[in-house]
Amino acid sequence: MSDVKYLPRRAVRRPAKQKTTILFKAGNLPSTPEELFRRVFWKSDFLAGEAHNFWKEVKKAEPSGLPIQAWKDWISKRGMSVGQFYNMIHGLVGAGFIEKRDSKWHMSEGFMQELEQMMKVYSSESGYEPKMK
């Protein structure tokens, strides 16, 4: 008999890919940024507004980025709970609006890339050409 002991494999923890659900409503096109953010935060108008405001702060902080420690000031000034802030960030990152780099929040092209890819796939399958301005 062999004295070799097999140890159970350890789970390797990788950073989770953040995802979120974006509401598409055929025939009801968003015409304002507020309506766009409501498509991501469709469960809460409050979070939609807060997310839009936070996104604008991240945009203002570019190219250096908004330090991730800013969350403490944000929730105290805005009257948000830690859970609400977490849900807001999860939605913004999951939708591809913002991303974390070097411990700072930055604008992300993820949302646009996803839409562009969807348009390419649909255009290829349907024969319709995208109409972009």
13, pLDDT greater than 70: no
The more confidently predicted of residues 4 and 60 is: 60
Full set of structural domains in the chain with CATH: 33-126 (1.10.10)
One-letter amino acid identity for 21? Answer: T
pTM of the model: 0.80
Where do we find the tokens 């968003």?
A: 30
What's the pLDDT score for residue 83?
95
pLDDT, averaged across the chain: 87
Q: Tell me how far CA of residue 61 lies from CA of 10, 53, 68, 70, 91, in angstroms.
A: 40, 13, 12, 11, 20
User: How does pLDDT run across 69-125, given as a tens digit for each residue?
Assistant: 988 999 999 999 999 999 999 999 999 999 999 999 999 999 999 989 988 999 999
